Structure 1
Amino acid sequence: MSFLFKSSPRPKLTPSELAKAIKESFLALDTCTFAKALEEVQKNILSMRQMLSGDGEVEPNEDHISQLAVEICKGDVLALFIHKLPTLSWEARKDLMHCWSSLLVQNCCVEYIENNLELVDFLVICYNNKEIALSCGSMLRECIKHPTLAKCILESNSFELFFKYVELPNFDIASDALATFKDLLTKHETVVSEFLISHYDQFFELYEKLLTSPNYVTRRQSLKILSDFLLESQNLQTMKRYILEVRFLNIMMTLLKVHDFSSYFYNSSFTRLLYIS
């Protein structure tokens, strides 16, 4: 007879109701009933994930997904997702990451972030918070899939922080920051080409520090990324300008003298840079 005491399943909410419930539960995290609010947040995030991706038995409804995305933007819930990230449990953050990638498929969510770029800056700065750094990195890479957002990040003041983050002592965070840094410089050729032309001196002065870093991994990975974006056809003029500058050519030649790096040069397309010079 124990089945008589089982709690009834949570009623299905409409997209509008779910967006409202999510917002209210996130706002309640600032109240004295934090523990109860956090439990409600986790339930609502799970409900959102099921609406966005299905529950394994029922496929997601595209109309519901669109409606939910619109309501989330109207209620500034995307901003709450980011600002309340440090207060969430690991499990809640994991579900939220899944929802974030699904929501950013919707144009309204991308446009919302474009109009609230301080949210992107917040995500970049949160690489300093080891508890949520990897979650923020994942959210940033979802943003970078969109050319407009990638351009905004490249041109923001916070972009320079990546030159610091890739050398953080925490290997996992540094590796994640490097993955985000690479996506920024390789995902969208036109965006990157325009950025390199307009920020040439500032960018390569910072990049020089990576290529001459005392950290072997930093030098090797930054060299690989450099070859990836400079050898794109749209960066031909930037590549020629770069390799014809004596100080940068000297760095390449210095790296060439190192045994491990010489094998990299000879076995990669990066030799084209030296050939042009």
Structure 2
Amino acid sequence: MWFLRRPAPPEELVSGLVSATLELTSTRYARFQTRLAGVDKTSLEIANRSTTVVATHLQELGLILIGDAESDPDESRGALVAAAAATQPDFAAGLVSCLDLLPLEQRKSAAHVFANLVNRTDTTEFATVIAKSPIIISSLTNAYKDETADLALIRGMMLREAARHEIVAKSLLEAPNFWLFFFTDLVQLKSFEVTADAFELLKVLLMGHGVLAARFIQNNYAAFVCHFNLLLQSNNYVTCRESIRLLGELLLLRENFSIMMSYISDRENLKILMNLLRCKRKRIQIEAFHLFKVFVANPRKPVDITLILVKNRDKLVTYLRNFHNDKDADAQFAEEKALVVETLLSLDAIER
């Protein structure tokens, strides 16, 4: 008589995965030494065994939480998995820390399990675990430093899903390496896909939690503008394009009105935007125009801003009258361009 194997209890799957990931990560240094010297085969055997166990447990957890082509998710067992994962902090930390040691398909499986747990509607405990773990936050925020694009994108997806929870977003914004991660590293990225993914994460953080992000920017305004302006002046096309687009959307959020007024009252910011207007890239020119028009339309322009606009008025008007006339079929764009030109012409010269 044939007997079906009894499904492992969810708690057992979780604890088994924790043990396997800890064992796998413990072989990291030994594996590195083996690659250099060709020794310590025992560690490689342990690593291979642990990788197999991790893969098996991830497959079973995936069937419970996500299902497959032949079966739906098991909601009751899924709730037990979520509860067990939330009560064992090493579960989330283990998944994150062993990603670089797993084959691509297992990395994807780990990311799907992670995303399902963090996005559950019946509990936010897993997100709380992530937010309170400096190890997890640090591991994920190093995502885009990895030169392996597929690993960077997988970690980025995990971080982005977690950041949809305000408690995680707050931890990320307060992380010691936030500025290095999101701005310094972002300027240096070369991969188109990884750069675009990083900006999606930045958008979730800065626009997905309006009040939290506005408070953060206000409290760190000088540093924020300094770092963001570096992005705007990047030689990397994707970095420049995505940063100017994000800034335009960010400043127009209701929660950021005072931030917008501060930004458009600074002559250095205006100079950067005027330079971007003359960029050779059409998309950047158009995004720069949408920000530039906010400077011009400001009814409370500081003297410094008006002086720059008046000084450069003739060149600006000539340039804008020939600015993307192919878009004049877009009635709104043509109207906005005409209004900017009209406003520039109406500015009075100011004597110092």
- TM-score by length of structure 1 reads 0.89
Question: What amino acid is aligned across from residue 148 of structure 1 in structure 2?
Answer: I
Q: Mind listing any 5+ residue stretches in structure 1 that lack a counterpart?
A: 1-6
- What is residue 274 of structure 1 aligned with on the other side? 296
What is the correspondence of 1:108-123 to structure 2 with a 5 Å cutoff?
A: 108-123=125-140
1:79 aligns with 2:74: no
Identity over the aligned pairs, expressed in percent? 28
Deviation at 1:181? 2.0
Q: Deviations over 1:58-97 (max 9, x none)?
A: 4323232221112123222111111111111101011111
* Partner residue, 2:73: 60
Query: Aligned to 2:133, what secondary structure does the other structure show?
Result: coil
Q: 2-side partners of 1:200 and 1:272: how far apart?
A: 19
SS, match of residue 166 in structure 1: helix
Is residue 2:247 matched to residue 1:226?
A: yes
Alignment check: 8 A CA contact 1:239 1:273 kept: no
Match of 2:59 among 23, 30, 46: 46
Farther off after superposition, 236-245 or 47-56? 47-56
The higher radius of gyration belongs to 2
Q: Which moved more, 1:23-32 or 1:149-158?
A: 23-32
Moved more, 193-202 or 207-216: 207-216
1:154 alignment partner, one of 160, 170, 173: 173
Structure 1 SS opposite 2:177: helix
Distance 1:152 1:186, change over 3 A: same
What corresponds to 1:4 in structure 2? none
Mark the CA change 1:230 to 1:120 in structure 2 (over 3 Å): closer, same or farther: same
2:183–2:227: 8 Å Cα contact kept in structure 1? yes
1:206 aligns with 2:223: no
CA shift for structure 1 position 237: 0.6
Q: Quote how far apart the aligned CAs of 1:147 are.
A: 1.3
Tell me, in whole angstroms, the C-alpha distance in 1 between the residues paired with 2:5 and 2:164: 35
Residue 129 of structure 1 corresponds to which residue in structure 2?
Answer: 146
Q: 1:8–1:224: structure 2 CA closer, same or farther, 3 Å change rule?
A: farther
Aligned to 1:157, the other structure's residue is in SS state coil
1:3 corresponding residue in structure 2: none
Q: CA deviation at 1:171?
A: 3.0
- Aligned pairs (5 A) from 1:135-150: 135-150=154-169
Number of positions where the alignment pairs a residue of Structure 1 with one of Structure 2: 271
1:102 maps to what in 2?
A: 116
Q: Which moved more, 1:129-138 or 1:229-238?
A: 129-138
Unaligned runs of 5+ in 2: 28-42, 302-352
Alpha carbons 1:137, 1:177 under 8 Å: kept: yes
Please state whether the residue corresponding to 2:235 is helix, strand or coil: coil
Residues 274 and 59 (structure 1), Cα distance of their counterparts in 2 relative to 1, 3 Å cut: same
- Partner residue, 2:344: none
Give the alignment partner of residue 217 of structure 1, picking from 234, 238, 249: 238
| Rounded Cα–Cα distance in structure 2 between residues aligned with 1:81 and 1:54 | 20
Give the residue type in structure 1 aligned to 2:297. Answer: Y
